Structure 1
């Protein structure tokens, strides 16, 4: 009894490997650019180049060649026997195909061949086998190989819009074409610096999650593949993105974390931290005031997810992901605290100053600084960023104040208000001098005397990671006077670091 699974990918795989003639055998090509020759001779003209994982029909033998027919190209020819794997006899049994798939799965660059073997297993397996451990393993391999092939293509020159292609790029394009012929769908998104992110659509991973026989590791691998941040459509509207993030959070929440090895628990926690951070920002941007409570809860869940991370169990390749997750969560950590409705006020000499957030004319928010001694506002600054009023802090001298403002879900700036001889002014200190990406610039303390500010920056923007930088900033000019990668190496941080920053910030992780 053949399997009756009906998803588009699996149905296409089975159809491609089912020979039209009852007594014909199917074979998988084992080498890239295997020559399909006009005769059973090395000197015969090559009619086409076959690629690893392609399926051809065997119609006969001659010398050391198989006579085959390629239905895609509608062309027959001869291929050396050592370049193809006939799928008949014991080699076509599901157990043998699964054993070969396990071996090929470990070989980088052989993804298209692995896809062919997985498709052959789907075609040969019975329904009960597909629903059991072997079927789940084959589907898990099918999705993993498709995702790995897409990642290889994204890193190649073929994914750059302004770079000539190489032979490697041609090979990747051919292997992607092989995958597409097995019913696997890929999406591409334009990213920064003229590159494309190619992503597997993920239908097979959804089936892995739905099968009861899947193991916790298979479930988490499928959930992580389906919830990748770099495979989300950057052109999605805020409403679409909110629904997508809610779906991502639900998928990750279904994985049974207690049954996972530490390395997978860490990866799950990092992804959950990132998704809940995105949700916290998206919910805070909702026009309904009632969204404040869900946003606060989402931010708290992001912090809880990151707290489950075990640094000692981090693999080397996961360290950048851990930094990214920490930056995402740190960018929204203020939202875990109630903003409060009381105005932000302080005294400077004999004057009473008050800072308020008021609606702007075009849907933005405006900071309004007012004085008890003046009718006109001392300062007005508007932004579409999320102003996190819980982050407000003013120095002892009353000549400077700071606020955290989040223009995007993963980029948090520090707004510095200063009293100058010309009046009050506001300056924006970003995480880095780059297009907004991932990062934060945050207040860390005031140095007595009203002349210095302590802050921290960390970012990943325009393809470059800028490690944590603890800085002593001159307030009159906002120039960095001293900086270090360790807070303990700067005396002002040892003496004047803000207590709330030390207990709440993730920059000291």
Structure 2
């Protein structure tokens, strides 16, 4: 964002207040159109007719006549900072008026003194500018192109408003998502300034921090080495919000805490997969980040969540629950469980291999099972049933996506099956062991996911032979098996029962 120069908004400046306004060669509706103007554009007034202004557009380097009803002259009392800020407050609340709001914000920045800009009014104007730019980017991201490639009137309007925003120095980034969808994101310069201002209110700083740390505006093509410093920067930005300030409303505090949960969860995963540091430092760093994530989630006040915040709350819970095992001391690379020994070791091409052998087996004897995968194996999660014919262990192949490995003894020997959070393209979610049913034939599994645009949470009774779900419910209290056989340590540690 750049501050307008002294010639950008002269005393005889006007802002276009309507879309698709014709600038004509003469002060007549029948005169040829010189250009099409859009809401929020700034023009210089050079003359006046009964129902037209004679104007000049410096960007197009073209002059003409525009009807007075389509322009807001910025002169006299209308050009005073307090008047511009009052108009900005009204326009800020109206969807589709983002470009006009940006024009008013730029006019305020030009008209206000340095003291005003650095005071509460300046913080409000910059906060409004950032919010309008962010909302405009969201509108552009929601636009769906027609199959024939033609632009609709809504597409044309959004494109024109983005062009107006660019004239005021606002910059946007374009990211490509799965399926070829395009995501437009504001670069956040106005929010950075708000975050650095002593006069900004706690709410304004919280809004700025949330806008600067949006997960959907991260580059999907970034490598883990690039993502870690980005996530650390996001965590530092969120730490700038004083969550102990009594003037900060609880629902804003909740939003910052939920975002912190997601950011620290991602950092925990990235640090656990990092191989450029000694193993113990790697474990300690991942564990510290995981604890920060769970501590942030524990401070959220569910009673103060709005309906709009519920999806973010569910996402924070899934991210926190997916890596909660990292917050506990890591299990050894080789451990005894029941009458068996589980060991993990680095495999080919970055894989991690899990080996199952009998306790006391001679060195070099054949393993009961060996399975390799690219996921992060959480050995502290390993649980065996009373009959000794099934073992459950958690694995995270990607950030925010935790799968359940079920090791089962069959007539042909031991085999492993992977239960994903949902049978869909990986997104966000977890599938976790919740308890064994006596008899060695059934297990309890909790799943929660948001993938391919759908959210689901379920508690399931799973058949160990076929891995089919025999019964399921959206609430654990509605499934009798969960009431009788759920594991105590699962109930005490999971975020699924929030």
Give the aligned partner of residue 249 of structure 2.
Answer: 261
Distance 1:45 1:163, change over 3 A: closer
Greater shift, 93-102 or 42-51, is seen at 42-51
Residue 469 of structure 2 is aligned to residue 480 of structure 1: yes
Give the aligned partner of residue 323 of structure 1.
Answer: 314
Residue 36 of structure 2 is aligned to residue 49 of structure 1: yes
Give the aligned partner of residue 219 of structure 1.
Answer: 205
RMSD: 1.5
Give the aligned partner of residue 405 of structure 2.
Answer: 415
Contact 2:431/2:447 (8 A) holds in 1 = yes
Give the aligned partner of residue 194 of structure 2.
Answer: 208
Residue 274 of structure 2 is aligned to residue 280 of structure 1: no
Q: Secondary structure at the match of 1:48?
A: strand
CA distance in 2, matches of 1:346, 1:322: 35
Q: Secondary structure at the match of 1:297?
A: helix
Give the aligned partner of residue 235 of structure 1.
Answer: 221
CA distance in 1, matches of 2:33, 2:347: 70
Contact 2:433/2:445 (8 A) holds in 1 = yes
Q: Secondary structure at the match of 2:170?
A: coil
CA distance in 2, matches of 1:164, 1:269: 43
Q: Secondary structure at the match of 1:17?
A: coil
Contact 2:333/2:345 (8 A) holds in 1 = no
Q: Secondary structure at the match of 2:164?
A: helix
Pairs aligned (count): 490
Residue 179 of structure 2 is aligned to residue 193 of structure 1: yes
CA distance in 1, matches of 2:108, 2:78: 11
Q: CA deviation at 1:489?
A: 1.4
Greater shift, 333-342 or 475-484, is seen at 333-342
TM score, norm. by length of structure 1: 0.94
Say which of 367, 389, 393 aligns to 2:354.
Answer: 367
Give the aligned partner of residue 87 of structure 1.
Answer: 74
Which blocks of at least 5 consecutive residues in structure 2 are unaligned? none
Greater shift, 42-51 or 123-132, is seen at 42-51
Q: CA deviation at 1:165?
A: 3.1
Q: CA deviation at 1:378?
A: 1.9
Distance 1:52 1:302, change over 3 A: same
Q: CA deviation at 1:15?
A: 5.9
Q: CA deviation at 1:163?
A: 6.3
Say which of 247, 259, 279 aligns to 1:271.
Answer: 259
Give the aligned partner of residue 440 of structure 1.
Answer: 430
Q: CA deviation at 1:344?
A: 3.2
Greater shift, 142-151 or 188-197, is seen at 188-197
Matches within 5 A, 1:381-400: 381-400=371-390
Give the aligned partner of residue 171 of structure 1.
Answer: 157
Greater shift, 218-227 or 254-263, is seen at 254-263
TM score, norm. by length of structure 2: 0.96
Q: Secondary structure at the match of 2:219?
A: coil
Contact 1:162/1:194 (8 A) holds in 2 = no
